[in-house]
Amino acid sequence: MATVALILNALTVVLGSFQYGHHIGELNSPQKVITTCPEPSEPPSALSPTGLEAGLPVLEKEGSLPTCIPMTNIEWSVLVATLTVGGLIGSLFVGSRLANRLGRRGALMVNNAPLVLGSLAMGMASSYGTMILGRFLIGIGCGAVTVIVPMYLAEISPAELRGTLGVMNQLGIVVGILFSQVLGLYYSTETQWRTILLAGAGLAVVQVFALPFCQESPRYLALQSGGAAKAKRSLQILRGRQDVAKEIRDWTRQDERAIVAEEEGSQGASSLLNDDSDPLLVGGAGHSGEDSNVSATHGSGSLSVVEFVTMPRYRRPLIILTLVQLSQQLSGINGVIFYSTAIMSQILPSSGAMITVYISIVNVLMTLIAAYVMDKAGRRTLLMVSAVAMGCSSFLLAWSLNYEIPKLSAFSIIAFVATFAIGLGPIPFLIIPEVVDTAAVASASAYALSVNWTTNFIVSVMFLKLQEWWGGNVFYLFTVILGLLTVAINRIIPETRGKTVEEVARSWQPYHRH
């Protein structure tokens, strides 16, 4: 049952996802006004030496910030993609380490520093280099957010609400994108575009003031030495009742069984749950060698990324997480999100920015639907439906762009984003804690999101250039990729809805026994 405390805690933490969404979309609408300088209103001699010919920012008057920062398409693509470079570093080296050392809540508090500094740098920039620096800092913060927020939501969720609360991360992202697109609709002018970029600093400050009222993740507290009492109190507040001891015991039991089940899957053991050697008796009789290492690792409360990647028992989760993260980004979604205004402006010059807002509204509505169905339909089913529907939409978009059918192009983009929202959008984030035990979640998240950000960077950098070379045919490429990903999802991804990590781990054991 969802309590007021649970909802308020989730909403406060999801402000991090909201910021990430805002930064995804903040450069979309104002691209033209930022990069294209107006014709000089004064004689050339009144301008700085070499003026526009040197590609320098144009100042309205001495001492003021420039009204534009000239960039080529390649420079703009690099600026947009710099978010993903910072995101890779933030997810791989910052998010998991902060989450393990400071707790999930403390990590989010500290993480708002690069988000504030980056937003201020971009909003007050007078050069391309400063814009790059600001975007990089924002990327670090966003990368950490993508690790910490889904982890926290999974750790505070009752089993029956795990999918619904997990989708709140994606909902925060898409609402943040909508927020930035609405700002872009009204503030993409020569004198006001900086407001869009500075808004990110305000969002970060709001979260800093709200987080002290949140509870630390009880599952994180339970893993810390002497943290049992704190975990119990945190969970009592979140659940709105006193009798939470059974839930805490179930966490420990599930994590311990999951570790042993993962070992069974990787080594091909025949049976673990027997009368003579109970895997729940961690450190007791019957545990030696690797099992003792498992217990020690689990008891430490954390696992490094290198350990997660190299330990045999996590091999199948590694494959699953790699596939779902690649699927999300190779679908081409961020090519559409980052450049939707530029794409639609080619065929609907007067309506491109407004269609981008419609796209974001549809994205929000479909994510709300996803939140409703996530705990009713299977994760694997939704992933496959999403990939197939996106492939069909991508095909229609390519065809309509090539033959200049504006209404079909607009419909195809909206359908592309809508079908992304029901599966490939939220599930790659929420599935992470469903396939690994609590001790490995932070490192598994760091690894998974580093794959996500790396692929995001490649798509972001290459998309505009591919579009210049191939035109609308670039979406035929995404159609083929989505078809291949659908086949891979069908063969590899297990169903995780309503299952413990232990049950999911046992479901893939035959995979290791071929």
In angstroms, rounded to a whole number, what is the distance separating the alpha carbons of residues 356 and 483?
26
Q: Looking at the chain, how many residues does it have?
A: 514
- Asked whether the predicted pLDDT for residue 11 surpasses 50, the reply is yes
Copy the structure tokens of residue 216. 């630390």
What does DSSP assign to residue 54? G
Give the pLDDT confidence score for residue 4 in this predicted structure.
Answer: 92
CA geometry: angle 487, 488, 493, nearest 5 deg: 120
- Asked whether the predicted pLDDT for residue 224 surpasses 50, the reply is yes
- Please say whether the beta carbons of 204 and 19 come within 8 A: yes
In angstroms, rounded to a whole number, what is the distance separating the alpha carbons of residues 479 and 268?
38
Q: At what angle do helices 315-330 and 438-470 cross, to 10 degrees?
A: 30
Reported as a single tens digit per residue, the pLDDT across 70-105 is 998 889 888 988 998 999 999 888 888 888 889 999
In angstroms, rounded to a whole number, what is the distance separating the alpha carbons of residues 449 and 90?
9
Give the pLDDT confidence score for residue 216 in this predicted structure.
Answer: 93
Give the pLDDT confidence score for residue 206 in this predicted structure.
Answer: 97
When mean pLDDT is compared across 118-132, 284-298, 339-353, 357-371, the lowest value belongs to 284-298
- Average pLDDT of the chain to the nearest whole number: 81
Reported as a single tens digit per residue, the pLDDT across 180-222 is 989 998 899 988 999 999 999 999 999 999 999 999 999 888 8
Give the pLDDT confidence score for residue 256 in this predicted structure.
Answer: 59
Q: What is the dihedral of CA 252, 254, 255, 256, to 10 degrees?
A: 80
Give the pLDDT confidence score for residue 104 in this predicted structure.
Answer: 92
Domains of the chain by start residue, with CATH: 1-35+68-216 (1.20.1250.20), 303-513 (1.20.1250.20)
Copy the structure tokens of residue 211. 């987080």
Across the range 50-56, mean pLDDT stands at: 50
Reported as a single tens digit per residue, the pLDDT across 461-495 is 787 778 778 877 889 999 999 999 999 999 999 98
Longest dimension (CA), the chain: 92
Q: What is the pTM of this model?
A: 0.77
Reported as a single tens digit per residue, the pLDDT across 248-303 is 777 666 655 555 555 555 554 333 233 333 332 233 333 334 333 433 344 445 67
Q: At what angle do helices 352-373 and 162-187 cross, to 10 degrees?
A: 170
- Please say whether the beta carbons of 172 and 14 come within 8 A: yes
Reported as a single tens digit per residue, the pLDDT across 111-130 is 999 999 999 999 999 999 99
Q: At what angle do helices 333-347 and 438-470 cross, to 10 degrees?
A: 30
Reported as a single tens digit per residue, the pLDDT across 371-386 is 888 878 888 999 999 9
Give the pLDDT confidence score for residue 295 in this predicted structure.
Answer: 38
Across the range 319-335, mean pLDDT stands at: 91
Residue 36 contacts by C-beta under 8 Å, 6 or more apart in sequence? 68, 70
Burial 254-276 (b: 16+ CB within 10 A, else e): bbbbbbbbbbbbbeeeeebeeee
When mean pLDDT is compared across 56-70, 183-197, 435-449, the lowest value belongs to 56-70
In angstroms, rounded to a whole number, what is the distance separating the alpha carbons of residues 125 and 102?
32
Across the range 1-6, mean pLDDT stands at: 85
Give the pLDDT confidence score for residue 215 in this predicted structure.
Answer: 94
